[in-house]
Structure 1
Amino acid sequence: MTRLVVLAGPTAVGKGTLVRALRERNPDIWLSVSATTRSPRPGEVEGEHYHFVSEAEFSRMIEHGELLEWATVHGRHRYGTPRAAVEEHLAAGDPSLLEIDLQGARQVRATMPEALYVFIEPPSVEELVRRLVGRGTEDDLERERRLRTAEVEMAASKEFDVIIINDDLDTAVQQLEKLVLDPGSVRGASRRHVP
């Protein structure tokens, strides 16, 4: 039976890079596309990277129970996971992955405790800062906000079933691949039990 894998971790830890590499190796793994109220970044494509919606549309989706989870991220924009697509792919038996933030992972756990919760951790806080600065997609104020949020997120890693340290991309992809294709397996990653 297919089990949903929920992937979270601090900003700039490399979740997107990890998921892209995983899907290049395994195009049959279904990745949920989140809805967001933020504007597209350069190169982002509607329906591929996100569903870009207005504040009013996002509020309508919440009111109608169309989101599995949603959150205001970094105190600015709302993100959420459309429920119907997740349920459809799980029912079809597709290996399914959510790449979401900590708040969202907590909400999904409340309704889908049977999912496998995977936390992506940087090799060090210094490396996380280097990656965030290196992205060049945020101004100084936004970078500081994201670093404060990352500190809170890092402290929550113990809430997850499995932690993968994203030090070496190939190793991290192999660990995540095994978990998504065989969610009962935790070999190659540190096992943590949720209290």
Structure 2
Amino acid sequence: MFATLYIIAAPSGAGKTSLVKALVGRDNRVMVSVSHTTRAPREGEVDGGDYNFTTPETFRQMVEAGQFLEHAQVFDNFYGTSREWVEQRLAEGTDVILEIDWQGARLVREAFAEAVGIFILPPSRQALEARLRGRGQDSKEIIARRMRDAISEISHYDEFDYLIVNDDFDTALGELASVILARRQRLEVQKSVHQAMITDLLA
């Protein structure tokens, strides 16, 4: 199996979701895992597309059945990654991205030691707060809580393999794509893909 499982984490407001969406839009060999969540859909979100929306009771039943690769509480809601879905995509040769927090990342690495971790940072506290306020969705109290949670999330940046600062979006996207490309150029991967050509060259 030469597909890679990527764990991409970031504090809320760092631009992780936008970067991942742009990456998937230009690379058809990578997919984003659609998490299960107990939170209510936001305007424009599609069940099964953005998230698999479920009830707290159903979520608990899935946890008890061992159906999640990882699951965690984020703010007041629960999120989980389907173990079966991820394993199927990797077996098919498709790279998979998990957008999860540092807690989930630890759990995933217990099951997939070869998973690659990428952490996205904002360029400054000021920029992070400005992005959170710019959404226009949350009250001052919620923004303050998100800022506290963001600092806590950032404190775990050194548990990841790669670090990308999202100051300029296009630059950050290019750096993210470069990590994916470099993984695909590993000797073991290219040797498997081009074995016939290599054999012919050496004949």
Per-residue CA deviations over 1:75-105 (Å, capped at 9, x if unaligned) read: x000111111100011111021111112111
Determine which structure has more spread, i.e. the larger CA radius of gyration.
Answer: 2
TM-score of the two chains, using structure 1 as the length reference: 0.90
Contact 1:116 1:183 in 2 (8 A): no
Pair 1:63 & 2:58 matched: no
Mark the runs of 5 or more structure 1 residues left unpaired by the alignment.
Answer: 186-195
Report the alpha carbon displacement of residue 123 of structure 1 after superposing the two structures with TM: 0.6
| Secondary structure of 1:182's aligned partner | helix
Shift of 1:111: 1.7
Partner of 1:97: 97
CA distance in 2, matches of 1:110, 1:144: 33
- Which whole-Å deviations, capped at 9, do the CAs of 1:143-165 have from their partners, x for residues lacking one? 12211110111111011111000
Kindly indicate whether residue 121 of structure 2 is the aligned counterpart of residue 118 of structure 1. Answer: no
Unaligned runs of 5+ in 2: 186-203
User: How many aligned residue pairs are there?
Assistant: 184
Bigger share in helix: 2
AA aligned opposite 1:44? E
Aligned-partner residue type, residue 16 of structure 2: K
Instruction: Indicate whether 1:48 and 2:46 are aligned.
Output: no
Assess, with a 3 A threshold, how the Cα gap between structure 1 residues 44 and 81 changes in structure 2: closer, same or farther.
same
1:96/1:180 contact within 8 Å kept: no
| 1:10 shift after superposition | 0.3
Aligned to 1:183, the other structure's residue is in SS state helix
Q: Partner residue of 2:142?
A: 142
Structure 1 partner of 2:177: 177
Question: How far did 1:184 drift?
Answer: 6.7
Contact 1:7 1:98 (C-alpha < 8 Å) held by counterparts: yes
Q: Match of 2:182, as an amino acid?
A: D
Question: 2:181, 2:79 → 1: CA distance?
Answer: 26
> Runs in 1 of length 4+ with deviation above 2 angstroms?
180-185
RMSD: 1.3
Structure 2 length normalisation: TM-score? 0.87
Name the structure 2 match of 1:8: 9
> What is residue 155 of structure 2 aligned with on the other side?
155
SS of the residue corresponding to residue 133 of structure 1 reads helix
Deviation at 1:171, TM superposition (A): 1.3
Partners of 1:70 and 1:173 in 2: CA distance: 27
**Structure 2 equivalent of residue 34 of structure 1:** 35
- The amino acid of 1:40's aligned partner reads P
CA distance in 1: counterparts of 2:68 and 2:183, whole angstroms: 24
